[in-house]
């Protein structure tokens, strides 16, 4: 890659250390706990059943277990929602480094609660633990991408921004592998599987004392210029001349701070902000209500219901995780080249077709050949997700707003994203219990609606600067006065563009 090795963009050991601290210690919590509940569903449902028998003297009904398991999975997103709302305040008050540091206490508490829930015969501990690790993940996903981009050399920011996304998909895969029934996905060991999330917290606790606060936070918020210079030298090498970068951070801050920030309530008041906000929110919902998390949370069960023999459902879930990682890498280069809108349309359309094919296959007569055939639409569903809907909603959200309104818009979009995540996680087991093989018809219909919305309402943002984009939503008579070719859009794309 251009820039590696030149003095302004050297990738040093220290930079890699700080990066690994943020990727493993923070983004892994989100990915691991997204994937970890998938493989051991059956054995944990059996534990819920046994707990019921122990306490109430009768076994659990199928509809209660569907609801209770859905709740166990979904409460992660409630924690995430609250965490994402706290992330901004935590960053302002403690800085990025100390926010990550303190956040590990929540992760360790969650690991203990989940790890000991079986010993204590308490599924409530698992549920509270899921809530706590969701809280931890929500905070992490607000802070770690910021830390990654602020520590990266300017020229490599895009690449470092995508590391967050790669961290998520890698840790989903890791949780799926560890959850295999001949590794930790057993009725004795699933507690250990859940508590392993504490390892990422311990790694971060060990490495974070060696890592600095982000240079931007030191310079702008704490006004410690010497510390900022020392940090830049630590990250970039002793011979690094930090004056240009310090100047850039200051300039960027000054051009931001002269303008008043837009409050969240103001986003709803003015039509030129309400329209892009609606687009951003619907794009987030299109990501979550596409049914992707029905697959990430429940694929083992889906494969089982399709008729794939039990001993293989873990492996097929791992296969899905591999497709997810590979397609995430492919999409990084696709996004650099192709337009956002077209990629999103291809992704949604492909997912819609896969959902329909899956429903047809699930309702054919149950032979084992047909069961194995269901693997294809599910894997391709995931591949299409990573083509567009996986990343594009975050790109569009950041690109539709200028510096003033972006932080508020990203908060609202994040909330919509977690809410969509919650709804699918909670509803899927009950829906599946009620209509079985037809559940994906609901996703197919939703995907078709989101496709139409994207086609008619979402503007192409690629290749347009931020002034041109925001001008699209201005009343017509003010459009003429906008200055063209203020090319700022490219610099800001990655700031918040790395969420799942
Ligand atoms: C609960 O356990 C009992 C006894 O082991 C079993 O008969 C019943 O089918 C189980 N219920 C569910 C929903 O798994």
Task: Calculate how far, in angstroms, residue 120's C-alpha sits from the geometric centre of ligand 1.
Answer: 20
The angle subtended at Cα 437 by Cα 431 and Cα 443, nearest 5°, is 65
- Positive or negative: CA dihedral 139, 140, 143, 145: negative
Tell me if 341 is assigned to some domain: yes
pLDDT at 43: 95
What averages of pLDDT result for each successive group of 10 residues across the chain (500 residues)?
48 95 97 97 96 95 95 98 93 94 98 97 97 97 92 83 90 97 96 98 98 93 94 92 90 79 90 94 98 96 94 96 96 85 97 98 89 96 96 90 88 95 96 94 98 96 82 69 40 38
Tokens found for residue 428? 């899927």
Place of tokens 């299409």: 384
pLDDT at 254: 84
**Number of domains composing the chain:** 1
pLDDT at 464: 82
pLDDT at 498: 37
Task: Calculate how far, in angstroms, residue 68's C-alpha sits from the geometric centre of ligand 1.
Answer: 15
pLDDT at 477: 54
Task: Report the nearest atom of ligand 1 relative to the CA of 62.
Answer: 13
pLDDT at 334: 86
Task: Report the nearest atom of ligand 1 relative to the CA of 49.
Answer: 1
Radius of gyration for the alpha carbons in the chain, expressed in angstroms and rounded: 23
- At 239 the three-state DSSP class reads coil
Tell me if 298 is assigned to some domain: yes
Task: Calculate how far, in angstroms, residue 59's C-alpha sits from the geometric centre of ligand 1.
Answer: 6
Task: Calculate how far, in angstroms, residue 45's C-alpha sits from the geometric centre of ligand 1.
Answer: 9
Range of the domain at 68: 13-211+259-463
Place of tokens 């837009």: 262
pTM: 0.91
Tokens found for residue 375? 């693997």
Tell me if 131 is assigned to some domain: yes
pLDDT at 482: 45
Nearest CA to ligand 1 atom 3: 59
Tell me if 151 is assigned to some domain: yes
Task: Calculate how far, in angstroms, residue 14's C-alpha sits from the geometric centre of ligand 1.
Answer: 54
- Rounded CA-CA distance 132/109 in Å is 8
Neighbours of 186 (CB within 10 A): 15
Cβ distance 299 to 175 under 8 Å?
no
Q: Which of 457, 464, 451 is nearest to 339 (CA)?
A: 464
Nearest CA to ligand 1 atom 7: 59
Residue 213 Cα distances to 105, 167, 312, 352, angstroms = 19, 21, 46, 44
Tell me if 231 is assigned to some domain: no
Task: Report the nearest atom of ligand 1 relative to the CA of 59.
Answer: 1
Nearest CA to ligand 1 atom 9: 59
CATH number at residue 441: 1.20.1250.20
Q: Which residues line ligand 1 (CB under 6 A)?
A: 49, 59-60, 62, 65
Task: Calculate how far, in angstroms, residue 130's C-alpha sits from the geometric centre of ligand 1.
Answer: 24
Tell me if 133 is assigned to some domain: yes
Which residues have a Cβ under 8 Å from the Cβ of 478 and sit 6 or more positions away? none
Which residues have a Cβ under 8 Å from the Cβ of 182 and sit 6 or more positions away? none
Cβ distance 85 to 415 under 8 Å?
yes
Q: Which of 44, 40, 60, 42 is nearest to 52 (CA)?
A: 60
Tell me if 249 is assigned to some domain: no
């Amino acid at each position: 890659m251009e820039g590696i090795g030149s003095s302004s963009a050297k990738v040093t050991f220290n930079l890699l250390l700080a990066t690994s601290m943020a990727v493993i210690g923070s983004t892994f919590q989100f990915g691991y706990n997204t994937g970890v509940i998938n493989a051991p569903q059956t054995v944990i449902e059996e534990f819920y059943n046994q707990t019921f028998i122990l306490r109430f003297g009768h076994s659990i009904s199928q509809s209660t277990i569907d609801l209770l398991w859905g709740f166990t999975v979904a409460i992660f997103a409630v924690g995430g929602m609250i965490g994402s709302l706290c992330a901004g305040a935590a960053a302002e008050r403690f800085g990025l480094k100390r926010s990550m540091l303190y956040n590990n206490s929540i992760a360790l508490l969650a690991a203990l609660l989940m790890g000991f829930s079986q010993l204590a015969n308490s599924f409530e501990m698992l549920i509270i633990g899921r809530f706590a690790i969701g809280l931890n993940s929500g905070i992490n996903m607000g802070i770690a991408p910021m830390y990654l981009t602020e520590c990266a050399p300017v020229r490599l920011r895009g690449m470092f921004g995508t590391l967050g996304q790669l961290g998520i998909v890698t840790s989903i895969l890791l949780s799926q592998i560890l959850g295999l029934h001949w590794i930790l996905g057993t009725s004795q060991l699933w507690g250990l599987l859940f508590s392993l999330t504490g390892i990422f917290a311990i790694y971060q606790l060990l490495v974070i004392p060696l890592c600095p606060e982000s240079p931007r936070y030191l310079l702008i918020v704490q006004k410690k210029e010497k510390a900022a210079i020392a940090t830049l030298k630590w990250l970039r090498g002793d011979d690094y001349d930090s004056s240009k970068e310090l100047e850039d951070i200051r300039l960027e801050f000054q051009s931001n701070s002269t303008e008043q920030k837009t409050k969240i309530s103001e986003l709803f008041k003015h039509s030129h902000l309400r329209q892009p906000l609606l687009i951003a929110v619907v794009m987030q919902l299109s990501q979550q209500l596409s049914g992707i998390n029905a697959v990430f949370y429940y694929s083992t069960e889906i494969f089982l219901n399709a008729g794939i023999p039990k001993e293989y459902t873990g492996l097929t879930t791992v296969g899905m995780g591999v497709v997810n990682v590979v397609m995430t890498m492919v999409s990084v280069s696709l996004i650099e080249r192709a337009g956002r809108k077209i990629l999103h349309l291809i992704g949604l359309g492909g997912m819609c077709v896969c959902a329909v094919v899956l429903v047809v296959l699930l309702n054919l007569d149950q032979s084992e050949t047909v069961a194995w055939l269901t693997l294809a639409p599910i894997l391709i569903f995931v591949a299409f997700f990573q083509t567009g809907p996986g990343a594009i909603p975050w790109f569009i959200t950041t690109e539709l707003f200028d510096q003033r309104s972006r932080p508020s818009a990203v908060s609202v979009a994040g909330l919509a994203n977690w809410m969509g995540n919650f709804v699918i996680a909670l509803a899927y087991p009950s829906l599946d219990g009620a209509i079985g093989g037809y559940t994906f018809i609901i996703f197919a219909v939703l995907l078709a609606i989101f496709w139409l919305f994207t086609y008619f309402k979402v503007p192409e943002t690629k290749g347009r600067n931020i002034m041109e984009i925001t001008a699209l939503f201005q009343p017509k008579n003010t459009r003429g006065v906008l200055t063209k070719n203020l090319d700022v859009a490219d610099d800001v794309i990655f700031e918040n563009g790395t969420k799942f």
